[in-house]
Amino acid sequence: MSVECERLGALLSQRRRGELSSEDARELDAHLAGCARCRDEAAGLQAVLAAVELPPVSIQELEALRSRRIGEAPPPVARSSAWS
Amino acid sequence: MTLVGPRAPSDEALVRAHLDGDRAAFGALVQRHQRLVLALVRRYARTPEESADLVQQSFLRAFTAAGRVFPRMRLSEEGAFRAWLLRVAVNVGKNHARDGRRWRLEPVESLDLRAAESSGMTERLEAEQHRRLVRAALDALTRRQREVFALRVDGELPFADVARVLGITENNAKVHFHHAVRRLRERLGGEVER
């Protein structure tokens, strides 16, 4: 698998999230047009990501997190001075 | 305390401050990382409250081990704390799923499907069934594949970051991701072709 092919997974998942720059998108499409193996990989990856992707974090989740006030209760820590 | 910008203290400086008794330092670390930790654990939770529980557990577990782990950690190395916290979070999520296997495997078929259909619950049942299949497929990955997949897909980290968190090479992270995707595709079968 070439270096170009290896970058594909990252670029495809970025595209799904609308994070791909137009320059990267052009590069990705040009590569896919000429690489059958990557087209197949891409189809598989897209299908898997579509199946496993979670919905965006909801307001309810953020509120539950906020109301927990996790940062306000630091756990006790055994002191040690052995820093590197 | 400023948490962003060039003058923001590093995670490692905040860990040192926390261990020196600065109570605000822990809060600053939580504020900085809780969204990413939430992204990593929420797949394994049924409710927003359970997600928040898992985030809390991740921070507490990471810091409870502080006396043992942090001194050995190379805190001079940027990203050491974040890598530790994210590894803990991935495992907290996974362990929660494992501990909850009993309820997760309760068959959907045991529910009254006719009643469900008439009250418009079919879609919800299908979604729940799908969620279980995905979880089972993720459970079947090797530990390393699951870690890479969770950090990349749920955490949305670039491969370079995934590699840094797990202490592996970037190429190795890509290979694990590639195998994870292939395995998920096989396990999920028709689910991924919908």
How much is the pLDDT for A77?
A: 66
Distance of alpha carbon B124 from alpha carbon B134, whole angstroms? 15
Kindly give the parts of chain B with pLDDT less than 70.
1-6, 67, 71-77, 100-120, 190-194
Comparing CA positions, the residue from B153, B158, B120 lying closest to residue B134 is: B153
Other beta carbons within 10 Å of B105: 9
The alpha carbon of residue B115 is apart from the nearest alpha carbon of chain A, in Å, by 27
Which regions in chain A score pLDDT beneath 50? Answer: 81-84
The residue type of A12 is: L
Record: contact A83-B51, CB cut-off 8 A: no
H helix and E strand count, chain A:
5, 0
pLDDT at B117: 59
Cβ within 8 Å of residue B188, ≥6 positions away: A48, A51, A52, B133, B134, B137
Q: What is the 3-state secondary structure (H, E, C) of B135-163?
A: HHHHHCCCHHHHHHHHHHHHCCCCHHHHH
H or E segment and range at residue A64: helix A59-68
Q: Which residue has 């040009």 as its token pair?
A: A30
Identify the pLDDT of residue B110.
Answer: 47
Write the CB contacts of B187 (distance below 8 Å, at least 6 apart in sequence).
B136, B137, B140
- What are the distances in angstroms from CA A60 to CA B74, B86, B136, B187? 37, 23, 26, 32
Q: Which A residues, 38 through 77, put their C-beta within 8 Å of a C-beta on chain B?
A: 41, 44-45, 47-54, 57-58, 60-61, 63-65, 67-68, 70-72, 74-75, 77
B66 chain-A contacts, CB cut-off 8 A: 75, 77-78
To test the contact with chain A by mutation, choose from B60, B159, B174, B186 the residue with the greatest count of A C-beta atoms within 10 A, namely: B174
CB contact under 8 A, A70 and B76: no
Contact between B175 and A41 under an 8 Å Cβ cutoff? The reply is no
Q: What is the pLDDT of residue B112?
A: 54
Would you tell me how many other CB atoms lie within 10 Å of the CB of residue B28? 21
Judged by phi (left if over 0) then psi (alpha if -120 to 50, else beta), residue B131 lies in alpha
Contact B97, B54 (CB under 8 A): no
Residue A48's CB is within 10 A of a number of other CB atoms, namely: 26
Confidence (pLDDT) at A82: 47
Distance from the Cα of B67 to chain A's closest Cα (Å) equals 5
Sign, CA torsion A21/A23/A27/A32: positive
B189: left (phi over 0), alpha (psi -120 to 50) or beta: left
What pLDDT does A42 receive?
82
Q: Would you say the pTM of this structure is higher than 0.80?
A: no
Residue entry with tokens 């491969």: B159
Q: Using alpha carbons, list the distances in angstroms from residue A2 to A7, A31, B2, B51, B135.
A: 9, 11, 43, 39, 32
B80-99 vs B122-139: helix crossing angle, rounded to 10 = 120
